[in-house]
Amino acid sequence: MPNNFEMQSPLHVGIIMDGNGRWALARGLPRQAGHRAGVETVSRAVEAAPSLGIGALTLFAFSSDNWRRPQSEVGGLMALLAEYMERETPRAVENGIRLQALGRRDRLDAQLRAAIGRAEAATAGGARLWLRIAVDYSGRDASLAAARTLLDLSRESLDRALGPPVDLLIRTGGERRLSDFLLWESAYAELVFSRRMWPDFGADDLAGAVREFRGRERRFGAVPRTPAPAAAGWLD
């Protein structure tokens, strides 16, 4: 018997995974320890997503603006991403998860590019969850790049080029901004913010965000069916 989440239409959920560095520093740990803890949170979110009715999950792992960070931190992040791709590919194949990377690849190191290529090829047939990881990603640049490939530029063609619209956009870490993430796709996304740092964001928090989404009336510009108080958008 499907649960209440599975009975609904599959969702596209985007998550800005913020707060790894602050989580680590608050514990007297190096920032890299926070990024490693954040990778484990990714695994928990991916495991929980299908049972919550999530069909596509897009995670913001590394912004094009993050190249401004110290070289040691950037190198550590790239190594972690390559490690994640290598480690999770067999499990993704087993569980019907399709892995895909979004963003530029020409600036990634050879190890990460190779790991991404192997993961995408091995998991191409996954139909249970579409897991998209944004690396060296900018929503503005992605929109420009997609538009340049189209002979007939329209809303519909750009929709197809960029991917599915986002239903629910979550940001952890207490900040309330999009930070150049899935800008076109999030035109009508419901926004939910959590003060939890990403390493502390668990399956119950993801379920709570989906419940918050399910409780909202999505009007897409139409008149509301019933008046409702404005939601603050905070999950906790």
Stretch 184-192: mean pLDDT: 97
When pLDDT is averaged across residues 151-179 and rounded to a whole number, the result is: 96
Choice among 3, 18, 95, 167 that is catalytic: 18
Could you report the per-residue pLDDT of 120-159, keeping only the tens digit for each?
Answer: 999 999 999 999 999 999 999 999 999 999 999 999 999 9
For 113-133, the DSSP string reads: HHHHHHHHHHTTT--SEEEEE
Please compute the mean of the pLDDT values over residues 14-36 and round it to a whole number.
98
Could you tell me the two tokens for 234?
């905070």
pLDDT confidence bin for 2, thresholds 50/70/90:
very low
Active-site option among 3, 65, 66, 204? 66
Distance, in Å, from the CA atom of 80 to the CA atom of 221, rounded to the nearest integer, reads: 42
Question: What is the pLDDT of the chain when averaged over all its residues?
Answer: 92
pLDDT classification of 208: cutoffs 50, 70, 90: very high
Residue 12 has pLDDT above 90, yes or no: yes
Consecutive H or E run containing 145: helix 139-148
Set out the domains of the chain in order of their start, with CATH numbers: 11-214 (3.40.1180.10)
pLDDT at res. 195: 97
Distance CA 109, CA 112 (A): 6
Q: Residue 59 in 3-state DSSP?
A: strand
Q: What is the pLDDT of residues 88-128, one digit of tens each?
A: 999 999 999 999 999 999 999 999 999 999 999 999 999 99
pLDDT at 85 over 70: yes
pTM for the structure as a whole: 0.91
* pLDDT higher than 60, residue 1: no
Taking the C-alpha atoms of residue 94 and residue 126, their distance in angstroms, rounded to an integer, is 9
Distance CA 210, CA 192 (A): 9
Judge whether 95 counts as a catalytic residue. no
Range of weakest confidence among 56-70, 182-196, 210-224: 210-224
Tell whether the model's pLDDT for residue 187 goes beyond 70: yes
pLDDT of residue 233: 66
Per-residue confidence (pLDDT) for residue 40, from 0 to 100: 96
Residue 221 above 90 pLDDT?
A: no
Determine contact, residues 131/99, Cβ cutoff 8 Å. Answer: yes
* Residue pLDDT, tens place only, 29-42: 999 999 999 999 99
pLDDT on residue 229:
56
18 labelled catalytic: yes
